[in-house]
Amino acid sequence: MADTTRDALKGTVGFIGLGIMGLPMTRNLLRAGFPVVAWNRTASKVALAEGAEPAASPAAVASRADIVVVCVTASADVEAVIEGDAGVLHGLRPNAIVIDMSTISPDVTKRLAARVRGVGCDYLDAPVSGGEQGAINGTLSIMVGGEAATLERARPVFEAMGQRITHCGPVGAGQTVKLCNQIAVCLNNLAMAEALVFCQQSGVDPSVMIEAISAGAAGSWQISNLASKIVARDFAPGFKVSLQQKDLRLALEAADTVHAPLAGVSLVHQLLGVVEGRHGGDVGTQALVRALEALTGVEVGSTAR
Amino acid sequence: MADTTRDALKGTVGFIGLGIMGLPMTRNLLRAGFPVVAWNRTASKVALAEGAEPAASPAAVASRADIVVVCVTASADVEAVIEGDAGVLHGLRPNAIVIDMSTISPDVTKRLAARVRGVGCDYLDAPVSGGEQGAINGTLSIMVGGEAATLERARPVFEAMGQRITHCGPVGAGQTVKLCNQIAVCLNNLAMAEALVFCQQSGVDPSVMIEAISAGAAGSWQISNLASKIVARDFAPGFKVSLQQKDLRLALEAADTVHAPLAGVSLVHQLLGVVEGRHGGDVGTQALVRALEALTGVEVGSTAR
């Protein structure tokens, strides 16, 4: 009777975690026509996603959904909402899909996926990049680990939230690729910071330097988008240092497990620790430069030398 | 009688150093209509720039030129052709401009500029980026230090060789900005290498990772242009490790002088030293990854794990 393809596409989505990322992602699911049932640790936030039905617990979300999306902060948070009392595992319907869009440990991911599969459901890890703006605009990059067939079943849900959807490999591969993303991001950031501080110390205008080198082999997203903010002393977060640090901890832990030598990442992690200590974790990642400025005693962009 | 503007624009250019970069730069000057008189340590090379007149020494070049371009390797080479016996200083005409397009020490640059000014001439440091291909195509980025009025007099010469011509500040500022370029390049390279090795060790296909992350905040010229070469085990040089090392030595020496903390650059310099020891200095800079592979014992892109 019903158009089953359409039914499958617009099955109810459960959404757990309506934070800076999860709230706009939920709104985009509603806009795309998905019924959404939602739970958030602070329950009042669910009302901000107009049209989403509130549920009393992660288990209650799962009992009413075909696909359950989790978008929280750390490995322990994902474990709590999936395995905890009144967690997703207590409510999952047969053949449901659990999609974790948080950035967490690849090893924890593999363990949770095994538990979800143990109750006859499927699991995808699907961390994102693109930040709050990407979440609002529905232009997130989504890095998916899990079975290709499961990804195909979930694709309409992903397409409501993101643009570049990459199947990275089996469960955990999405998290691994996300950590690769953070590894590259944090070292491109160090590249920018060392170039700027060297330039400043040498008495050359950093703005001129940025203009001269950013279009060539030294170019990066960071230098194009964040270097001029540093010169303008704008440390408002695109991405917060505290969250970058959480991700670098994951990368360094995973590197310890797989025996990958991340000497550069380790250095950046330590320098960002200095930034957290002096300026707090809510500043943007471009504040990495402030760890180097703490050493030189001179701010990039200052004219008095 | 004569059109003096035109005469000024097409004054004779002296060119010293017809190597991988200098030879195609000389050809572009000839193509643009400049008379060129040239000297090279290996004299036979001058004949490769058809139309250039050979001279017996750097001094002989200077005695016949309005603008003298130097394009050699290291600080000591520039000192030799400018200050040495039969060096440029022994032949310079009044009001001539000496343009050093080598990448050398900002401090040596300032000293040489003072000597050239001492005989009534002008000096510009004008190192380039863009590599051999940029030299052949006349699309080099040129980072110029010196007086703005001198740059304007020399602009037609620069325009014959490059595209993006940036006035970076007083004498030495071109070298400083070029070193900033190399600082950023070498750390973006480390970003790529650590991400690739972590990905490989985690059992995820590096090509999928590159595709997933290169368009976002992790993006860089390096990851777009060199990461796939690493997976294909192509270590042919765009830019050689030995020359990158020479430039990093300059950056670290200058950082020592101006008190800039280049901890990341120092790490890359040491890792590239390992690459030089194992694979020689003629490989491309993307071979940085091989220092990390020496630690893991696993090549990026290999399927046997």
| CB contact (8 A) between residue A221 and residue B221 | no
Choose among B154, B174, B159, B167: nearest CA to B13: B154
CA distances B241 to B134, B162, B187, B256, B282, Å, are: 18, 24, 14, 22, 6
pLDDT at A100: 98
**Residue A6: band (very low, low, confident or very high) from pLDDT cuts 50, 70, 90:** very low
pLDDT at B5: 44
pLDDT at B303: 85
Which CATH architecture does the domain made up of B2-169 adopt?
A: 3-Layer(aba) Sandwich (3.40)
Of B176, B258, B292, the CB nearest to A261: B292
Residue A125, pLDDT above cutoff 80: yes
Q: Which residues pair with B145 in a beta bridge?
A: B125, B169
Residue of B nearest to A171 (CA): B204
B110 is catalytic: no
Encoded tokens for B160? 């014959």
Encoded tokens for A79? 């474990």
Q: Which residues pair with A68 in a beta bridge?
A: A14, A98
Q: pLDDT per residue over A279-301, tens digit each?
A: 999 999 999 999 999 999 999 99
What amino acid is encoded at A52 in this protein?
A
Is there a shared CATH topology between the A2-169 domain and the A177-296 domain? no
- Stretches where chain B sits below pLDDT 70 are 1-9, 304-305
pLDDT at A2: 40
Q: CA Rg, chain B, in Å?
A: 21
Of A183, A198, A212, the CB nearest to B141: A212
Q: Report the distance separating Cα B270 and Cα B264, nearest Å.
A: 10
Of A195, A219, A258, the CB nearest to B183: A195
| CB contact (8 A) between residue B201 and residue A255 | yes
Residue A148, pLDDT above cutoff 50: yes
Interface test with A, best of B175, B177, B210, B268 (most A CBs within 10 A): B177
Contact at 8 Å (CB) between A78 and A72?
Answer: yes
Q: Report the distance separating Cα B107 and Cα A101, nearest Å.
A: 52
Contact at 8 Å (CB) between B205 and B305?
Answer: no
**Distance from A127 to chain B by nearest Cα, in Å?**
12
Return the domain boundaries, chain A: 2-169, 177-296
Residue A9, pLDDT above cutoff 80: no
Residue numbers of A annotated as active site: 178
**Distance from A165 to chain B by nearest Cα, in Å?**
8
**Distance from A47 to chain B by nearest Cα, in Å?**
32
| CB contact (8 A) between residue A195 and residue B216 | no
Q: pLDDT per residue over A39-84, tens digit each?
A: 999 999 999 999 999 999 999 999 999 999 999 999 999 999 999 9
Of A202, A220, A267, the CB nearest to B188: A220
pLDDT at A184: 98
CATH classification of B177-296, choosing from 1.20.58.100, 1.10.1040.10, 3.30.479.10, 3.30.1310.10? 1.10.1040.10
Quick check: helix, strand or coil at residue B70? strand
Residue of A nearest to B171 (CA): A204
pLDDT at B35: 97
A219 interaction partners in chain B (CB closer than 8 Å): 220-221
- Average pLDDT over chain A reads 95
| CB contact (8 A) between residue A218 and residue B185 | yes
Chains A, B: CB pairs < 8 Å:
266
Q: pLDDT per residue over A17-50, tens digit each?
A: 999 999 999 999 999 999 999 999 999 999 999 9
Q: Report the distance separating Cα A194 and Cα B75, nearest Å.
A: 23
Within 10 Å of residue A284's Cβ, how many Cβ atoms? 18
The Cα angle at residue A149 between residues A147 and A154, in degrees rounded to 5: 95
